[in-house]
Amino acid sequence: MATDRPAATWRNWARTESATPRAYETPESLDEIAAVVARASERGLRVKAVGAGHSFSGAAVTDGVLVSLDRFTGIEDVRPTSAGALVTVRAGTRLRDLNRLLWDQGLAVPNLGDIDVQSLAGAMSTGTHGTGARFGGLATVARAATVVLADGSVVHCSPDDHPELYEAARLGLGAVGILATITLECVPAFALHAAEAPGTLHDTLAVLERDRLAVDHFEFYWFPHTDRVLTKRNTRLPADAPGAPVGRVRGFVDDEVLANGMFEVVQRVATRAPATIPRLNEFAARTLSPREFVDRSYRVFASPRRVRFREMEYAVPVGSVTDVLTEIDAWLSRNDFRVAFPVEVRFAAADDVWLSTAHGRDSAYLAVHQYHRREHRAYFDAVEAIARAVDGRPHWGKMHGRSAADLRTTYPRFDDFLAVRDRVDPQRTFANPYLDRVLGP
């Protein structure tokens, strides 16, 4: 049985948030999760579930009881369907483990983001997404969930069963309860053909509509202060499609030495001598050579990220990408502000998840980054103002300065979400300062 364990200081991956919770719990069963929550509620303590701590925002911070589901992992059930299978997963399962377990069953998550260390529940709860004009984020793949509410009760929810709780819980910022299990609609395992190539921003934007729609998973990185981009085109293939995974040496050289090792060196030089950044960006962009490979989908979607950075990401209506990038470029030039990190541009289909950043509209995601040793505030504030002007929505797990009053106007179902929260957590057991800001007290 889980008991109160005094907690050390907790920090998120980006080192932007920390907390010293009263207790740290690692329950191993649904009953234990329920007991931890009930006991904390009785004592008037706040409760927060934490996954891998990979949110840049303070979403997982608590001064009360921090609950990790790292010991509540694995697949509970697989029910085949005509399109794949409904797979019930324990919510603490890390995506990288889930991907391997699914592959062994001939299954896969249809789309993923660019890292795989997050917990399933943590990733879903903040609206984690990948890229692909026909695909939604992780929460759109959910079909049911088991939620532990503030009083310790356990509720199964789905579109047919407590549908409003289900809508709020599948992308709920941890505000309505602890997700214990999540049922995902998985597809047959597939491979991806990856084609990465350097190019220019001008050419990429000129054919953006074509590539966004024609390529299964299209994205690009723009190197600020230059016209250089790196495009990534991932095409879905049957799981047994012939092709070579990226060679071990080549993969090591590209991902570890260039994308991670060399990138750290670039960032350190940029920090000491910001004036060199435009030349460094040009150099970094040109060093990335074209490459193609075929591998299991989850291995292509995700790569390691060893350079620590700060990030803000905005979802904007897809038609405004060019304007937003042009404005960012103009702001950087006007203010002589140097950024040695590329801007990542991705795409997603409109969905109906209440708090999804792609709710009701085809979306483009623009992610801005800054090395963790450099000042990010002025840059992020400027990009936020530019994105807000086109009704942009911030990623819930990344840095941003928005609050409930102005988020309400961009989410048509915001008040429905708050109504569920009021009903299931009137005492605000699951609240924290971040939720007070973005949802209200």
Ligand X SMILES: Cc1cc2nc3c(=O)[nH]c(=O)nc-3n(C[C@H](O)[C@H](O)[C@H](O)COP(=O)(O)OP(=O)(O)OC[C@H]3O[C@@H](n4cnc5c(N)ncnc54)[C@H](O)[C@@H]3O)c2cc1C
Minimum Å gap between C-beta 149 and ligand X is 11
For residue 201, the minimal CB distance to ligand X (Å) is 21
Is 91 one of the binding residues for ligand X (CB under 6 A)? yes
Give the Cβ contact number of residue 253 at 10 Å: 15
Cα distance between residue 105 and residue 249, in whole Å: 29
| Contact set for ligand X, span 95-134 (CB under 6 A) | 113-115, 118-119, 121-123, 125-126, 128-129
Select 136 or 397, whichever has its Cβ closest to ligand X.
397
Q: What is the DSSP string of 165-191?
A: HHHHHTT-TT-S-EEEEEEEEEEE-EE
Residue number with CB closer to ligand X (204 or 356) = 356
2 binds ligand X (CB under 6 A): no
Nearer to ligand X, 41 or 55 (CB): 55
Q: Which is nearer to ligand X, 64 or 226 (CB)?
A: 64
Please report which helix (H) or strand (E) contains residue 367, including its range: strand 363-371
Backbone torsions φ then ψ of 162, nearest 5 degrees: 50, 55
**Residue from 4, 7, 13, 329 in contact with ligand X (CB under 6 A):** 13
430 and 175 in contact (C-beta within 8 Å)?
yes
Q: Which residues pair with 79 in a beta bridge?
A: 86
Decide if residue 48 touches ligand X (CB under 6 A): yes
The span from the CA of 32 to the CA of 367, in Å, is 38
Q: Which is nearer to ligand X, 118 or 281 (CB)?
A: 118
Could you say whether residue 59 binds ligand X (CB under 6 A)? yes
Question: Cα separation of 175 and 298, whole Å?
Answer: 29
- Nearer to ligand X among residue 49 and residue 226 (C-beta): 49
The nearer residue to ligand X, 119 or 320, going by C-beta atoms, is 119
Give the nearest distance from C-beta 242 to ligand X in angstroms: 28
From residue 203, give the alpha-carbon distance in Å to each of 1, 137, 195, 198, 384: 60, 28, 17, 11, 26
How many CA atoms are closer than 13 Å to the CA of 123, on its beta-carbon side?
Answer: 28
Strand partners, 419: none
C-alpha torsion 244→245→249→250, nearest 10: 90
Among 39, 46, 54, 228, binds ligand X (CB under 6 A): 54
The secondary element (H helix, E strand) that includes residue 208 is: helix 208-214
User: Which CB, 54 or 400, lies closer to ligand X?
Assistant: 54
Judged by CB under 6 A, which of 21, 110, 152, 174 binds ligand X?
A: 174
Q: Specify the residue, 179 or 345, whose C-beta has the smaller distance to ligand X.
A: 179
**Among 41, 55, 146, 267, contact with ligand X (rule: CB under 6 A):** 55
CB of 256 to ligand X, least distance (A): 15
Q: Please compute, for residue 113, the number of CA atoms within 13 A of its CA located in the half-sphere on the CB side.
A: 25
Task: Give the one residue of 23, 50, 312, 316 binding ligand X; rule: CB under 6 A.
Answer: 50
173 binds ligand X (CB under 6 A): yes
How many residues touch ligand X under the rule CB under 6 A: the total is 33
In the complex, the smallest distance separating the C-beta of residue 372 from ligand X, rounded to whole angstroms, is 11
Instruction: In angstroms, give the least distance from the CB of 328 to ligand X.
Output: 19
Say whether residue 73 binds ligand X (CB under 6 A): no
- Which amino acid is present at 249? V
State the Cα–Cα distance between residues 286 and 335, nearest whole angstrom.
25
Closest contact distance (angstroms) between CB of 399 and ligand X is 10
The Cα 180–Cα 177 span in angstroms is 9
Length of the chain: 441
Among 21, 27, 51, 84, interactor with ligand X by CB under 6 A: 51
DSSP state of 257: I
Q: Quick check: 399 and 310 in contact, CB under 8 A?
A: yes
Kindly indicate which of the ranges 171-179, 225-233, 236-244, 383-391 contains the residues binding ligand X, using the contact rule CB under 6 A: 171-179
- Site track for ligand X across 373-412, x = CB under 6 A: ----------------------x-x---------------
Beta bridge partners of 179: 147
What are the start-end ranges of the E strands in 74-216? Answer: 75-81, 84-90, 107-108, 142-148, 154-157, 178-188, 190-200
User: Which of these ranges, 44-52, 218-226, 228-236, 415-423, lies near ligand X under the rule CB under 6 A?
Assistant: 44-52
Element (H, E) at 374: none
Residues of the shown chain interacting with ligand X in the complex, contacts defined by CB under 6 A: 13-14, 48-55, 59-60, 69, 91, 113-115, 118-119, 121-123, 125-126, 128-129, 173-174, 178-179, 305, 395, 397
